[in-house]
Amino acid sequence: MMRKTSVILLSAATGAALTLFVTQPRAVFMGSSARAATADTYRQLNLFGDVFERVRSDYVEKPDDTKLIESAISGMLTGLDPHSSYMDAKSFRDMQVQTRGEFGGLGIEVTMEDGLIKVVSPIDDTPASRAGVMANDIITNLDDEAVQGLTLNQAVEKMRGPVNTKIKLKIIRKGQDNPIDVTLVRDNIRVRSVRARVEQDDIAYIRVTTFNEQTTEGLKREVANLSNQIGDKLKGYIIDLRNNPGGLLEEAVTVSDSFLEKGEIVSTRGRNAEETQRRTAHSGDLTKGKPVIVLVNGGSASASEIVAGALQDHKRATIVGTRSFGKGSVQTIIPLGSGNGALRLTTARYYTPSGKSIQAKGIVPDIEVLQDVPDELKSRTDTKGEASLRGHLKNDGDEKTGSQSYVPPDAKDDKALKLAGDLLHGIKNSASAAPTPGGDNKTTTDKPKAAN
């Protein structure tokens, strides 16, 4: 008998993706020491039961039994490491929506401002964009209910819903004397995890913001679009993974595979040697051997680090920026039955093709580039990294904390982006002593915004 589970990578992002089959425990004969250990475990469980009953009977106010159990489970898991946790049924549903990158909604990115919902941007070809919703619009009411007093997540949840259902928005727009009432019909919305543009007329710039179920498809689409736009003068690709918190293991593998012809991409190793799994590349480089630069920083975590590590170890790309976050563990999502939520449990570490664990260390760029940070932001632009998290999985050798995560809002001030362009144009400088982008493919040994 086998149980179906889901495996993800996590940093700040969550998701269920690659399906693994895990055999249930087999019946075994126990020796005296094993029996003694089992007996001790049951004594501890009896202790938990005693405490639970004492709280139920003697606490100053009548407690909620469900919340007591959930809190106990949550405490057990969070005591393991920073990425293991319990998700109640709602959190589990939200996680599934996030990792699918697809949901019933309106197609607007929003944030909270002065207790009201502010539109950051409408997503192209969605109900919101078709109805004329504009950036900087302020949403004051949802179906005649005031937004004031709701959290951002509560407002987003109200705007999401089944496809083909209606919702009415009351909007205040600068320059308009009266509020605007708009009725929208929810549609199937896909979160854009990949955005792209042409840089300097001959460079394909592709920004990957998260690894959800739409990421590889989005990457392929943008590579095709940009190669057609630029044509024969295309110098190469800049893949921007800065401040990408991670996501799905399977998407990290397929994105890496898009640039490789062969070789190992990543291995995952659990407690037992027989649980080791290796993922390898298939023939077919999406970019047809063009040079690749990958941008990373202190906010690049988990799935981002798998991609950067695989392309770096295979000398397929030059890594530019600052040391990444250092999250080198894999989480398995284990559903607990209908309505009971799920466990997010750390079950393995992952290793780059050369056999390195980046846990609490991060990916070290081939070329380090520090940005010029405005004085008012200098105390808030460094990410402490995995090594600073209480209870993190330890790694052999020196662990690393602290790495710059600032990305200038204006591309002209972006020193890492400029250096990447110079490298692709063959411009040499004192900082560019690094592997040539697009070298051979041999393995070496050497983060509030919401869409709805």
Q: pLDDT (tens digit, 9 = 90+) per residue, 424-449?
A: 999 866 555 555 555 544 333 233 44
Q: Is 302 a catalytic residue?
A: yes
CA atoms of 247 and 306, how far apart (whole Å): 11
Q: How confident is the model at residue 32 (pLDDT cuts 50, 70, 90)?
A: low
pLDDT at 207 over 70: yes
Cα separation values, 236 from 2, 260, 266, 366, Å: 46, 15, 24, 18
Residue 273, pLDDT score? 86
Residue 35, pLDDT score? 72
Q: Is 125 a catalytic residue?
A: no
CA atoms of 303 and 192, how far apart (whole Å): 17
Cα separation values, 221 from 27, 39, 74, 194, 252, Å: 50, 58, 40, 9, 17
Task: Supply 379's token pair.
Answer: 């105390």
Domains, the chain, with CATH or none: 103-190 (2.30.42.10), 194-330+346-444 (3.90.226.10)
pLDDT at 167 over 90: yes
| Phi, then psi, of 159 in degrees rounded to 5 | -80, -30
Global confidence as pTM: 0.79
Alpha helices in 200-355 (DSSP H): 215-230, 249-257, 303-313
Q: What is the mean pLDDT of the chain?
A: 86
Q: Where are the beta strands (DSSP E) in 161-315?
A: 166-172, 180-185, 187-190, 194-199, 203-208, 236-240, 264-269, 277-280, 292-296
| Phi, then psi, of 167 in degrees rounded to 5 | -150, 140
Residue 382, pLDDT score? 80
Taking the alpha carbons of 121, 294, 251, 345 in that order, is the dihedral positive or negative? negative
Residue 452, pLDDT score? 63
Amino acid (1-letter code) at residue 316 = R
How does pLDDT run across 34-81, given as a tens digit for each residue? 677 777 888 888 999 999 999 999 999 999 999 999 999 999 999 999
Amino acid (1-letter code) at residue 178 = N
Residue 29, pLDDT score? 53
Residue 9, pLDDT score? 55
- Per the CB < 8 A criterion, the answer to whether 279 and 265 are in contact is yes
CA atoms of 231 and 286, how far apart (whole Å): 15
CA atoms of 225 and 248, how far apart (whole Å): 24
Identify the residue with better confidence: 219 or 377.
219
CA atoms of 126 and 251, how far apart (whole Å): 25
Catalytic residue among 137, 257, 285, 313: 313
Q: CB neighbours of 211 closer than 8 A, spacing ≥ 6?
A: 9, 13, 15, 193, 244, 246, 247, 248, 251, 252, 255, 303, 304
Residue 3, pLDDT score? 40
Residue 440, pLDDT score? 46
Catalytic residue among 302, 304, 357, 403: 302
Q: Per-residue DSSP letters for 321-381?
A: ES------EEEEEEE-STTS-EEEEEEEEEE-TTS---TTT-PPPSEE------GGGGGGS
- Per the DSSP assignment, residues forming a β-bridge with 128 are none
Catalytic residue among 327, 361, 366, 400: 327
Task: Supply 277's token pair.
Answer: 């799994």
Q: Is 327 a catalytic residue?
A: yes
Residue 444, pLDDT score? 30
H/E element holding 34? helix 32-58
Amino acid (1-letter code) at residue 340 = N
CA atoms of 318 and 300, how far apart (whole Å): 15
Place of tokens 């919340």: 67
How does pLDDT run across 257-308, given as a tens digit for each residue? 999 999 999 999 999 988 899 999 999 999 999 999 999 999 999 999 999 9
